[in-house]
Structure 1
Amino acid sequence: MSPQDEIEGLIARVAMGNREAFRRLYGRTSAKLFGICLRVLNDKELAEEALQEVYVTIWRKAGMYREGVASPMTWLITLARNAAVDRRRRIGGLPLDGDGQAIERLRDPAPGPEAQAVARSEARALQACLDTLNPDHAAMIRSVYLDGATYAEMAAAHGAKLNTVRTWLRRSLMQLRECLSR
């Protein structure tokens, strides 16, 4: 069974209220989803809160996932990114201390060697696939999905209509998914 098939199966069982499947899904996906939340929020505590929201959403909406529409990780990553972006919008910046100065936040120590090797391999594959896209569209993908920019920000930056940017991103993501599945 492929990892994708395993995660799809877990999501299907979570949709039926299976707590053990939920526990296993969390174990298989939480590190990656936390990384996405942390990248968008750049704050460990806020990322942890966003991750909790993500898993509450997964528990409630697992039945909404449709196989074949998107890979299970794409669906989960989208939930994580959206939760982190929403949280970022709500806070409007870093928390302030009593003097009105931004509090310095410390990051967790770097991941271990195995996780670093896996991440480098995945990053190389993603970079190779991003290189096959139109350079402007690849830059938008990075801005939106890695840096947390909004579609509206991208539309303004590129002088395009919001729906046009959405179409470009959707088509680019489909090309990426196809490339990464090879």
Structure 2
Amino acid sequence: MQPAVRLVSSNTGRDEEYSSLLAACARGDATALKRLYDATSPATYGRLMRLLRDRALADDALQDVYVSVWRNAAKFERGRGSVAAWIGTIARNRALDIIQMRGREVPLEAAGDLDTWFEPQPSPEVELASMQEATALRRCMDQLDADGRAALQRAYFDGLSYAEVAVWADRPLGTMKSLIRRSLASLKRCLEP
């Protein structure tokens, strides 16, 4: 079990930027919302996926989170915490609402995947292609060095920010960004036909 990730004071500049973007959102600046979304949505989505374990639910929840951020930007109280923590709290609460609502319905396991009830089922060819893509991704991930593989796992599957991955790995942020960039480039080369 990994210890809880503690972010270091270098996040102060990032939170200042997020606070400025959120203040601009409160004034109706849609461009600021897009910039805030671009900066914070990967980690938010990762956390939603960990809680909901369903891509469609996490996609919907992510949209709900940023609609809520837009509507409530003026209510953010800077003295009570960081913007990232505030967005994380909105995301957690939205995920818990979804989990609670699903708990009151017919158990989804008994009903099957409700998202696919009214959608055409994929053909066997499409399913085979998806399995082949997953196999290729696993093969390429296995070819990465252990540090690169672990960094990508933390950043893209666990939803940690690069700063959180750097703290987790006990490495400088710049080193971690370079490692992730090199690992992504290797992964892309391996996956290209």
Query: Fold-level match, TM-score > 0.5?
Result: yes
**Residue 58 of structure 1 aligns with which residue?**
69
**Residue 20 of structure 1 aligns with which residue?**
31
**Residue 79 of structure 2 aligns with which residue?**
68
Cα offset, 1:125, TM superposition: 3.8
After superposition, residues 6-17 of structure 1 pair within 5 angstroms as: 6-17=17-28
Partner amino acid, structure 2, of 1:68 = G
- Report the Cα distance in structure 2 between the residues aligned to 1:28 and 1:51, rounded to whole angstroms: 13
Partner amino acid, structure 2, of 1:122 = E
After superposition, residues 36-47 of structure 1 pair within 5 angstroms as: 36-47=47-58
> 5+ residue gaps in structure 1?
129-182
- Over 3 Å counting, the alpha-carbon distance change for 1:77 and 1:126 in structure 2 is farther
After superposition, residues 13-162 of structure 1 pair within 5 angstroms as: 13-92=24-103, 95-96=108-109, 100=110, 102-103=112-113, 115-116=152-153, 119=160, 122=164, 125=167
> 5+ residue gaps in structure 2?
1-11, 116-129, 142-147, 171-193
Cα offset, 1:91, TM superposition: 1.2
- Over 3 Å counting, the alpha-carbon distance change for 1:90 and 1:32 in structure 2 is same
- Report the Cα distance in structure 2 between the residues aligned to 1:64 and 1:32, rounded to whole angstroms: 22
CA contact (8 A) 2:154 2:165 kept: no
* Higher RCO, Cα 8 Å, sep 6+: 2
* TM-score, normalisation: structure 2: 0.53
- Over 3 Å counting, the alpha-carbon distance change for 1:15 and 1:121 in structure 2 is closer
The structure with the largest helix share of the pair is 2
- Over 3 Å counting, the alpha-carbon distance change for 1:127 and 1:69 in structure 2 is farther
Q: Percent identity?
A: 32
- Residues 58-78 of structure 1: CA deviation (Å, up to 9, x unaligned): 110001111121111111100
Partner amino acid, structure 2, of 1:95 = L
- Report the Cα distance in structure 2 between the residues aligned to 1:21 and 1:4, rounded to whole angstroms: 14
CA contact (8 A) 2:22 2:73 kept: yes
Partner amino acid, structure 1, of 2:49 = L
Q: CA RMSD in A?
A: 3.6
Aligned residue for 1:2, secondary structure, equals: helix
Partner amino acid, structure 1, of 2:53 = N
- Report the Cα distance in structure 2 between the residues aligned to 1:47 and 1:72, rounded to whole angstroms: 20
